[in-house]
Amino acid sequence: MPSKKTDAPKHSEAAGTQTPDRANTNAKLQSLETFRSDATGQALRTNQGVKIADNQNSLKAGARGASLLEDFILREKITHFDHERIPERIVHARGTGAHGYFQSYGCHAELTKAGFLQDPEKITPVFVRFSTVQGPRGSADTVRDVRGFAVKFYTDEGNFDLVGNNMPVFFIQDAIKFPDFVHAVKPEPHNEMPTGGSAHDTFWDFVSLVPESAHMVIWAMSDRAIPRSLRMMEGFGVHTFRMINTEGVASFVKFHWKPRQGVHSVLWDEAQKLAGKDTDYHRRDLWEAIETGDYPEWELGVQIVPEADEHRFDFDLLDPTKLIPEELVPVTKLGKMVLDRNPDNFFAETEQVAFCPGHIVPGIDFSNDPLLQGRLFSYTDTQISRLGGPNFHEIPINRPVAPNHSSQRDAMHRMTIDKGRASYEPNSIDGGWPKETPPAAQDGGFESYQERIDAHKIRQRSESFGDHFSQARLFFQSMSPTEQQHIIKAYSFELGKVERETIRQREVNEILANIDLKLATAVAANLGLPAPKQGRVQVKGGKPAQSKALSQMSHPGDVGIKGRKIAVLVAEGVEAASVDKLVKALEAKSARPMLLGPTSAPVKTADGKPLPVDASMEGMPSIMFDGIVVPKGVDKALASSGVAKHFLLEGYKHLKAMVLTKDLLSSLGLKEDKGLLLGDEQKSVGAFVKAVEGHRVWEREAAAEAVPA
Ligand code: HDD
């Protein structure tokens, strides 16, 4: 039958769709990775290499007898097991990773001397880890939260880590406030609740007292915080960095990742249900996409500001709570990143990968953003306790592909056996090696950008960091009416969970009223609070007044419905030819159709043959799909099944594109719309594909309100 197998093909099959160049690079890289262990055909042994004859029974004095201390096999196995866990990340504990590559679109020598941005033929391996921030390692994927977007480029000149988020700004302006912020957003200390969310008193207490957080909080209350897929998120370096060319000319840059899959979200109701029905929703989506060869792709871009223009804006480039509107400085695309290989081992790769914004290469440098400066210290420091010492760079996933020799020695878990006698520099005993490389040499050594600093040592926030509301307002006013409604609902939901009325009132009066009075009034009404008459802060209101690029609606993507999941509902009496037509039409568009039956057992078709299904409607509810199609012959069976009706009504409520038959439509009491189509498969599929491309049938929102969830 034409149903696409849910059993994802194995690595090697997916690799078959890679370009020959990429397949070669992957093979070359893997042959260098002698640390990847494959036990196929190997004997079971102890850690000391002794073959094991019996792995079922411990050594005892007699079959029922006392266990013997001398059982080194038992002791070794249990001891290792007892120490299997390492501390999870203090933030961003829940994550998922993938391998891939970066390829430059051309030579960007005018901007930077970074080697990986000079040659379109060069393939730079990358490892990416996406994460949520608040929840522990086992928490749900679809909670409302910021997503981490950390990329390790294994360049020939050393590792470059771009440790960003899916939002372009941050909650605070100075790293000294990071522990306070994290303590406030994490589960509350007395009862360790809530897991994975910010809807609680300590978070709203802190952010309502700290107006610099206003801009990032409104991003977190927007649909950006509930992505449909990790593949459908933008990424941002957040801080202003520098790029430096061979002449030593520096430009300020802001990094952007633009997903070719578009920027899309789930609805809040879906997000909450998915958190229960598939805790691993995002993880699974990325894994399956890569296994089936739908490699996600992002373009890396930069907004470039010449050093001379540093003070051209009505905000400070060093302030991480501000973005540069793309209308003021467009994004210049530098290259693309493709994720095409899943890790072999979650712990060894995704858990042990150690990112640090301080890992940069020649041609890239920092700015004086005080949040960035604090991060440069924090990441290496945290790895020392998380990964057990300063040798974490020797863990396979963290090793640079560039050679790495220094006079650093010893410490816990040292892997390298350094030859020679001189572990100092300069030395004459080992011929002076390893030696420095002057910056001017070919493939020169790293040189910091020579920025002139003439200042008093002082603890002070720059006045130029003082406008906390203009860009939060810009964000809200740039949203579509639908997105604005979602933001209002998100604030109302979150603040509705806050126990203390003083905190709710403070957020409405001191923060929201300064962002937008319409927003404040709507949230106040939902909370039963008096509406503020006006904001207390005189907000400058920057330029432009609107930025289209901030709305997700401006990022539909350019890959059509590739990789989108479509449910094909089947039941007894289904017409096999109709299923066949639908599935073929969807596969022709590179979508992933799945056949869902009343149970996981095959269903009997109209001509009496068994049709295998991929899953049951209960096992994979509508929230896991981007669209639903109903083939011919199943009207009666679906209309008389509570599970099927719930599936369809929920899909309708969540604004999914659907193809139904007339009878089913009327028995569900629904009306046709731009995305609810009546099939004949052939006529409707074109319109259906268009509706899935639009992600959701937004025009249906008012009608869908009336349908029970
Ligand atoms: Fe951070 C992890 C992103 C501010 C301290 N951060 C971490 C990760 C991401 C970010 C994506 C997970 C990396 C991974 O997958 O392993 N962090 C950000 C961004 C920030 C930011 C975009 C602001 C623009 N972070 C920030 C500050 C500090 C930290 C100001 C401390 C002063 N972040 C950490 C950390 C973590 C971390 C505690 C936890 C685990 C780790 O580093 O490796 O050091």
Domain boundary among 329, 363, 392: 392
Res. 469: pLDDT tops 80:
yes
- Spatial neighbors of 408 by CB under 8 A, at least 6 apart, are 390
Three-state SS for 325?
coil
Residue of minimum CA distance from atom 7 in ligand 1: 92
Distance CA 338, CA 154 (A): 14
- Domain shared by 206 and 329, yes or no: yes
- Domain shared by 180 and 278, yes or no: yes
- Domain shared by 603 and 534, yes or no: no
Average pLDDT value for residue range 543-560: 94
Give whole-number Cα distances, 634 to 14, 127, 606, 637, in Å. Answer: 34, 46, 9, 5
- Domain shared by 153 and 238, yes or no: yes
Residue of minimum CA distance from atom 34 in ligand 1: 379
Q: Report residue 562 as tokens.
A: 């590739």
- Domain shared by 334 and 276, yes or no: yes
Among 11-20, 226-235, 392-401, 648-657, name the one with the lowest average pLDDT. 11-20
Structure-model confidence comparison of residues 359 and 440, the more confident one: 359
178 touches 171 (CB < 8 A): no
Q: Report residue 286 as tokens.
A: 């990325």
Tell me whether residue 346 is exposed, middle or buried, using C-beta atoms within 10 angstroms of its C-beta: 0 to 12, 13 to 18, 19 or more. middle
342 is a catalytic site residue? no
Domain of 484, CATH number, reads 1.20.1370.20
- Spatial neighbors of 686 by CB under 8 A, at least 6 apart, are none
The verdict on residue 21 lying in a domain is no
Domain of 582, CATH number, reads 3.40.50.880
What's the angle, vertex CA 266, arms to CA 264 and CA 268, rounded to 5? 135
Centroid of chain to Cα 393: 24
Domain of 387, CATH number, reads 2.40.180.10
Helix/strand/coil (H/E/C) assignment for every residue in 517-535: HHHHHHHHHHHCCCCCCCC
pLDDT at 25: 66
Res. 320: pLDDT tops 90:
yes
Pocket mutation for ligand 1, best pick of 173, 212, 355, 383 (most atoms within 8 Å of C-beta):
355
Structural domain for 547, as ranges: 469-553
The verdict on residue 398 lying in a domain is no
Give whole-number Cα distances, 186 to 10, 200, 219, 353, 511, in Å. Answer: 38, 10, 18, 23, 21
What's the angle, vertex CA 25, arms to CA 19 and CA 30, rounded to 5? 125
- Domain shared by 513 and 629, yes or no: no
Pocket mutation for ligand 1, best pick of 92, 151, 322, 380 (most atoms within 8 Å of C-beta):
92
The verdict on residue 83 lying in a domain is yes
Among 28-42, 75-89, 195-209, 429-443, name the one with the lowest average pLDDT. 28-42
Res. 16: pLDDT tops 70:
no
pLDDT at 7: 40
pLDDT at 33: 72
The DSSP secondary structure of 582-638, one letter per residue, reads HHHHHHHTT-EEEEEESSSS-EEBTTS-EE--SEETTTS-GGG-SEEE--TT-HHHH
* CA of residue 382 to ligand 1 center, whole Å: 10
Domain boundary among 501, 533, 553: 553
Out of 159, 165, 398, 514, the active site residue is: 165
Out of 92, 239, 654, 695, the active site residue is: 92
* CA of residue 499 to ligand 1 center, whole Å: 29
Average pLDDT value for residue range 303-310: 97
Distance CA 257, CA 164 (A): 10
The verdict on residue 638 lying in a domain is yes
Count: domains in the chain = 3
664 touches 679 (CB < 8 A): no
Residue of minimum CA distance from atom 44 in ligand 1: 379
Residue of minimum CA distance from atom 27 in ligand 1: 375
Cα torsion through 499, 501, 504, 505, rounded to 10: 180
pLDDT classification of 709: cutoffs 50, 70, 90: low
616 touches 603 (CB < 8 A): no
The verdict on residue 460 lying in a domain is no
pLDDT at 691: 96
- Domain shared by 481 and 619, yes or no: no
Phi, psi of 690 (to 5 degrees): -60, -45
pLDDT at 32: 62
- What percent of the chain clears pLDDT 90, i.e. is strictly above it? 90
Helix (H) or strand (E) holding 701: helix 701-705
Residue of minimum CA distance from atom 4 in ligand 1: 375
Res. 437: pLDDT tops 50:
yes
pLDDT classification of 288: cutoffs 50, 70, 90: very high
- Domain shared by 517 and 576, yes or no: no
Ligand 1, pocket residues at CB < 6 Å: 89-92, 95, 129, 131, 148, 150, 163-165, 170, 175, 178, 238-239, 320, 353, 355, 371, 374-375, 378-379, 382
The verdict on residue 436 lying in a domain is no
- As a whole number, the mean pLDDT across the chain is 94
- Domain shared by 316 and 198, yes or no: yes
92 is a catalytic site residue? yes
Atom of ligand 1 nearest to the CA of 371: 30
- Domain shared by 601 and 497, yes or no: no
Give whole-number Cα distances, 524 to 495, 511, 691, in Å. Answer: 10, 12, 35
Tell me whether residue 267 is exposed, middle or buried, using C-beta atoms within 10 angstroms of its C-beta: 0 to 12, 13 to 18, 19 or more. buried
Q: How many CB atoms lie within 10 A of CB 618?
A: 15
Q: Report residue 385 as tokens.
A: 């306790």
The verdict on residue 154 lying in a domain is yes
Domain boundary among 363, 392, 421: 392
* CA of residue 362 to ligand 1 center, whole Å: 23
pLDDT at 305: 98
pLDDT at 679: 78
Res. 563: pLDDT tops 50:
yes
Distance CA 363, CA 347 (A): 32
The verdict on residue 106 lying in a domain is yes
pLDDT classification of 443: cutoffs 50, 70, 90: confident
- Domain shared by 478 and 572, yes or no: no
Among 133-147, 282-296, 428-442, name the one with the lowest average pLDDT. 428-442
Average pLDDT value for residue range 102-116: 98
- Domain shared by 158 and 86, yes or no: yes
Closest to 217 (Cα-Cα) out of 98, 209, 602, 542: 209
* CA of residue 519 to ligand 1 center, whole Å: 31
